[in-house]
Amino acid sequence: MVDVDISGAEAFFTKAGPDYADAAQAHRTLTDATGEGAEYTGWLQLPQKIKENELHQILNAAQKIRSRSGALVVIGIGGSYLGAKGAVELLQPVPGKGNPKIFFVGNGLSVDYINQVLDEVRDTDFDVNVISKSGTTLEPAVAFRIFRSLLKEKYGANARKHIIATTDASRGVLRTLASEENWESFVIPDDVGGRYSVLSAVGLLPMAVAGIDIKAVLGGAIEEFSSLDSRSPSNPAWKYAATRQHLYRQGRTIEFLASYEPSFRYMAEWWKQLFGESEGKGGIGIFPAYVEYSADLHSMGQYIQDGPRVLMETVVEFAASQTRLSVPFEMGNPDRLNYLAGWDMDDICKTAAKAVRNAHISGNVPNLRITVPQRNEEGLGALFAFFELSCAISAYMSGVNPFNQPGVEAYKRNMFRMLGKPFEPTGSRR
């Protein structure tokens, strides 16, 4: 289970401390479905309610791709790709022997990047998993048209067998196309928004293709959701949500997540979207940022230690490393490092982490620690569940709807007008 240690933040609390009564109320609002956006709380039951036949279909599709293709191109943006990318980077940063390469496109508009991926897959067998709930998002839609055209060039009439669509059950152009073209497809449930969808086919199919044991991920999430159902200030989700809200109210407007694992980088991107899009609205919200230690101590360390005191730091740690590696002894001690000879690298890392924590606390940066037992499937599932629940509680505590994103539309309106998109009446399916 995910553990939260707030002892490094306590010195920064007011006498009242984190408001656990408010956390309890927010938790009730969420689970009783009485708050704004209650129609989008289906993610709370995603892992336990996934149907056996859907899980089978996902595993079969993944097996088919793994056995016949050298690559899977996952097309999606925001909540339609970050969770899967975070999972793959965390657990399979380098594809294992025989595993297809996973490419993520449609999450930007860079022509050079698209061309680079086209070049990578042109001479290999590949499949496409296009993921879009609305089916209308420009970036994935354009990328899909481009990769569809390559599939047609490569496989002719059989191109359709290399496309899997993950989209709404009945609405949107992608669903219409999937039905007309007879593509295999998966459903993003109506009551689950993009950034909370990682434990549906949205995240599970790419993970399974990458060789991640998705049953174990779901198992980790089920266990975590169940233990986080406890209604008590010792609930780690309450501790995290209530502490960050308490600190925010005292001017800590920026929370940076930190990790000592380079493979955590895209999990942090997923976390940034989850919290940024859920909380940043109506003129309020903690700004979520990420730093990678110890690398960023040599670039951002100065600012963290000594810049404006508006920061709070949340460090994600894995209790046990998966491998061991000790520093060798060297005769003559030419580099003066023999004082570390025999130390395991993970022990050096954990010692450095303690030193950093103490320095930051004494530099007036409240510190929270989130510990996950292991960097494995169960740990990954637990992290998804923990952050989703904490985020919804925290957003309700701050008085906003955690499940909408009205601000995202502004750039789209401008962009579509400037690109000359024809007007489509509301409710149009094409």
State the nearest-atom distance from the C-beta of 134 to ligand PA5, in Å.
3
Catalytic residue among 139, 261, 277, 377: 277
| The binder of ligand PA5 chosen from 101, 133, 148, 162 (CB under 6 A) | 133
List all residues 6 or more positions away from 197 whose beta carbon is below 8 Å from its beta carbon: 43, 46, 79, 80, 83, 133, 188, 203
Q: What is 373-421 written as a DSSP string?
A: EESSHHHHHHHHHHHHHHHHHHHHHTTS-TT--GGGHHHHHHHHHHHTP
Q: Which is nearer to ligand PA5, 42 or 140 (CB)?
A: 140
- What does the block give as tokens for 1? 């289970």
Residue 27 known to be catalytic: no
Single out the segment in contact with ligand PA5 by CB under 6 A; choices: 6-14, 34-42, 192-200, 332-340. Answer: 192-200
Rounded (5°) CA angle 391-394-396:
110
Binding mask 139-158 for ligand PA5 (x = CB under 6 A): -x------------------
**Which of 368, 143, 89 minimizes the C-alpha distance to 255?**
368
DSSP state of 368: E
- What does the block give as tokens for 79? 């909540």
Q: Which is nearer to ligand PA5, 312 or 393 (CB)?
A: 393
Single out the segment in contact with ligand PA5 by CB under 6 A; choices: 14-22, 62-70, 189-197, 225-233. Answer: 189-197
Single out the segment in contact with ligand PA5 by CB under 6 A; choices: 65-73, 131-139, 312-320, 335-343. Answer: 131-139
State the nearest-atom distance from the C-beta of 262 to ligand PA5, in Å.
24
For β-strands 3-5 and 367-374, DSSP reports them as antiparallel
Site residues for ligand PA5, 396-415, by CB under 6 A, read 405
Q: Which is nearer to ligand PA5, 269 or 377 (CB)?
A: 269
Q: Check binding of 374 to ligand PA5 (CB under 6 A).
A: no
Q: Which is nearer to ligand PA5, 194 or 280 (CB)?
A: 194
Q: Check binding of 134 to ligand PA5 (CB under 6 A).
A: yes
Q: Check binding of 277 to ligand PA5 (CB under 6 A).
A: yes
Q: Name beta bridge partners: 129.
A: 74, 164
Q: Which is nearer to ligand PA5, 273 or 376 (CB)?
A: 273
Q: Check binding of 106 to ligand PA5 (CB under 6 A).
A: no
Site residues for ligand PA5, 279-298, by CB under 6 A, read none
- What does the block give as tokens for 252? 């800590």
Residue 360 known to be catalytic: no
For β-strands 311-320 and 126-132, DSSP reports them as unpaired
Residue 154 known to be catalytic: no
Identity of the amino acid at 180: E
Catalytic residue among 180, 298, 354, 409: 298
CA–CA dist 128, 104 (Å, integer)? 10
State the nearest-atom distance from the C-beta of 427 to ligand PA5, in Å.
16
Catalytic residue among 330, 412, 421, 424: 412
State the nearest-atom distance from the C-beta of 247 to ligand PA5, in Å.
25
Count interface residues toward ligand PA5 (CB under 6 A).
14
Binding mask 74-93 for ligand PA5 (x = CB under 6 A): ---xxxx-------------
Tell me which residues are annotated as active site.
277, 298, 412
Binding residues for ligand PA5, rule: CB under 6 A, are: 77-80, 132-134, 137, 140, 193-195, 277, 405
